[in-house]
Amino acid sequence: MSTSPGADATAAPSGHPLTEDEVRRLREDFPILRADVHGHPLVYLDSGATAQRPLAVLDAEREFATTLNAAVHRGAHTLAAEATEVFEDARATLARFVGADEGEIVWTSNATEALNLIAYSMSNASLGRGGSAADRFRLGEGDEIVTTEMEHHANLIPWQELAARTGATLRVIPLDDDGALRLDAAAEIIGERTKLLAFTHVSNVLGVINPVDTLVAAARAVGALVVLDACQSAPHLPLDVRTLDIDFAVISGHKMLGPTGIGALYGRRELLEAMPPFLTGGSMITTVTTTAAEYLPPPQRFEAGTQRVSQAVALAAAIDYLSDVGMPRIAAHEAELGRHLVDGLTAIEGVRVLGSGIALPRVGLASFDVEGIHSHDVGQFLDDLGIAVRVGHHCAQPLHRRLGIISSTRASTYLYTTRAEVDAVIDGVSRAIEFFRRGA
């Protein structure tokens, strides 16, 4: 049974797609897109792994390093005060982008750390840390954590470990034969024992936009916390955490035109205030003795040590860039490219596009299996043509195993991707099949 679209306000693009002229002008902001690979113009279709950065982002990080570089929240001198101001301005920029308050954004090194922050904080609460305020985060035997069979390993392994540390049970919502979440099974699995539901907004393998409203409603009915992996949605769709009614969300900076080494956790203010810390040390304390410490309120409570200041400033520049283009228009552009990509690939004999039968809107991403040809061979052939794609299990082994394969080739678009580039990968796959079958 494939899922059907819900009423999620961000489920389907509502803007007008970018025109070819607009995309062409945007590409001028990305110097790397003018590169050649093996004598061919670079066709970059691996934005789902890491997005390219425009000059505005590169310039923002360099300007901070050359004019404002100083430790934040520590020094009393002018440079430190100015660095702190731009650092907190970056937090405010991200908060506006996702519809949150500034105090609800915690900087992390990446989305994986953000998910581990939640898991380890709940583990610490289960050991009695945090006092009575942390009661709702405590887990033990009989409690259940629920995730799905389509998750990136970063949204699976932390919950496996949390279950192992606390004695709770991890339950997994299965997929149907197309790869869609089985909402009938979800309704049975999410019950009165469920303490936390963690799932991806957009699958990094299938490209489908999951029905957040349906899953959140099931969690709310039993009082469970909701964690949303927004790594593949925040860069590509309008995202409002209040509208989605989620408790936590994680994002990855390098997937949304920003630098590596920066990610963020959104958490409802009242939840962050009740959570015990994960990492401890300097910058997250008020008073320290040799035997005990008192901690700052969030978000600083969860930001121990030296912070990722220049990266946060660069991520804010990336968010400003995306906002200036317009997230509804980016979403519409990628939805159009995604349909063209899926249609073109499915028309090739011997190509199976994963999730193509799911009746849900999708972003501009498609993973596919070519009958009789390993994904690494397909990827290498495309690379020889200057086409960059991702190959492997995409950190989603359970999903691939459920669909009966061990790996796939993934092409993923972004605001700077042209229709001609999508045509290039479709043609490249056809040529790869011809090449390998001729040599067989």
> What is d(CA 394, CA 407) in angstroms, rounded to the nearest whole number?
8
Angle at 265 between CA 243 and CA 257, to 5 degrees: 90
Cα distances (Å, whole numbers) of residue 342 to 83, 94, 203, 367, 431: 46, 32, 15, 9, 17
Q: List CB contacts of 357: < 8 A, sequence separation 6 or more.
A: 2, 178
Determine the Cα–Cα distance for residues 74 and 70; give it in Å rounded to an integer: 9
Pick the closest to residue 238 from 107, 99, 362 (CA basis).
Answer: 99
What is the residue type of 128?
Answer: G
User: Burial of 142 by CB count in 10 Å (0-12 exposed, 13-18 middle, 19+ buried)?
Assistant: exposed
User: Which DSSP letter does residue 17 get?
Assistant: P
Helix, strand, or coil (residue 173)? strand
**From CA 297, how far away is CA 283, in angstroms rounded?**
11
Specify whether 231 is catalytic: no
- Single out the catalytic residue among 172, 348, 395, 405: 395
Q: How far apart, in whole angstroms, are the C-alpha atoms of residue 327 and residue 194?
A: 34
Contacts of 100 (CB under 8 A, 6+ apart): 94, 241, 242, 266
Residues taking part in catalysis: 395
